[in-house]
Amino acid sequence: MDLQALAVILDSALRLSVPLLCACLAGLWSEKSGVVDIGLEGKMLIAAFAAAAGAHASGSALIGLAAGIGASVAFSLVHGFAAISQRGNQIVSGVAINMLAAGLSAIVGNAWYGQGGRTPSLEGDARFGDIALPGADAFAAVPVVGPLFREVVSGHALPAYLAFLAVPLTWFVLARTRFGLRLRAVGEKPAAVDTAGISVPLLRYAAVIICGVLCGIGGAYLAVAQAAAFLPNMTAGKGFIALAALIFAKWRAWPALGACLLFGLLDAGAIRLQGVSLPLIGPVPVQAIQALPYVLTVILLAGFIGRAVPPAASGVPYVKER
């Protein structure tokens, strides 16, 4: 495989991993605080729709991004209200969020634009352009590293860089700050946080809002950067792959990046491996590669390779003992 082909695959893997990464980190924040979220898919979907609609209406991709984040956070708060304030079943709430987002984005999209749920195509400033990183061209002459830097690392849209920036930020905040310590504690043992004089609901709401912001960035990337419009169900299960990546990463930020890049690479590879015959194995059905993240996650969850242990209190509403 020549360098150019490699660069193309890596670049595409990176692009495909951006929404996964956003949703995966979003899930990480939520679940670290003890709120299980299987509604990542729905939040990303509603964010994608709101971002496309916002960008179309305003002509500004940034306003689109803000609209996407706003919609996603609103859904997060619904989930938070059910899970934190009402101590409802978090899985049920997540399912509801997914259905609501799928239904609302399709209905409202169809009502507003009459294109079967699509939003009109975004052009010019209404769409995030690719950002050439400084030095991308200057170093292009450096062998191997130069072209890879220009083709793979440089040339992505703003939300993509936000997503990648969120990885060190997430790690730093969780590991090194007061807020992070409290968040880690509340997901493991909320009673310990409560008796230390810290509000459990406030911490969890904060986490859920961060989760919404990240899902919003992921959704906006899908509709306003990767594509140039919203399409019904355009998240196509990415929120669930992100959930798989989160388990894979054992709820840690850097491994989450690794898992999302791996799953992105699988996705990019699947498109290119269509009909290609691998040595020894023969032609690999593209579906087998598509199913790989899910299969790997099941195997991991079953403890056949390592053990994935979620935060102890995740999914459990906090009730003061009596």
**Interface positions, 10-49, toward another protein (CB under 8 A):** 38
- Of the pair 114, 124, the CB lying nearest another protein is at 114
Q: Which residues contact 306 (CB under 8 A, 6 or more apart)?
A: 250, 300
Q: Which residues contact 139 (CB under 8 A, 6 or more apart)?
A: 145, 146, 149, 150
The stretch near another protein (CB under 8 A) out of 6-14, 50-58, 118-126, 292-300 is: 292-300
Among 148, 157, 188, residue whose Cα is nearest residue 22: 157
In 10 A of CB 41, how many CB atoms?
26
Mask for 268-287, x = binds another protein (CB under 8 A): -----------------x-x
Contact call for residue 66 and another protein (CB under 8 A): no
Contact call for residue 202 and another protein (CB under 8 A): no
CB of 214 to another protein, least distance (A): 20
Q: Which two tokens stand for residue 41?
A: 């898919």
Q: Which residue has the tokens 């992070």?
A: 180
- Of the pair 111, 278, the CB lying nearest another protein is at 111
Amino acid at 288: A
Interface with another protein (CB under 8 A), residue from 10, 21, 66, 106 = 106
- What is the number of residues in the chain? 322
In this structure, are residues 125 and 64 in contact, taking their beta carbons and an 8 Å threshold? no
The stretch near another protein (CB under 8 A) out of 61-69, 143-151, 236-244, 273-281 is: 236-244
- Of the pair 134, 178, the CB lying nearest another protein is at 178
Contact call for residue 82 and another protein (CB under 8 A): yes
Contact call for residue 184 and another protein (CB under 8 A): yes
For the chain, first and last CA: distance in Å? 65
Interface with another protein (CB under 8 A), residue from 62, 112, 258, 316 = 112
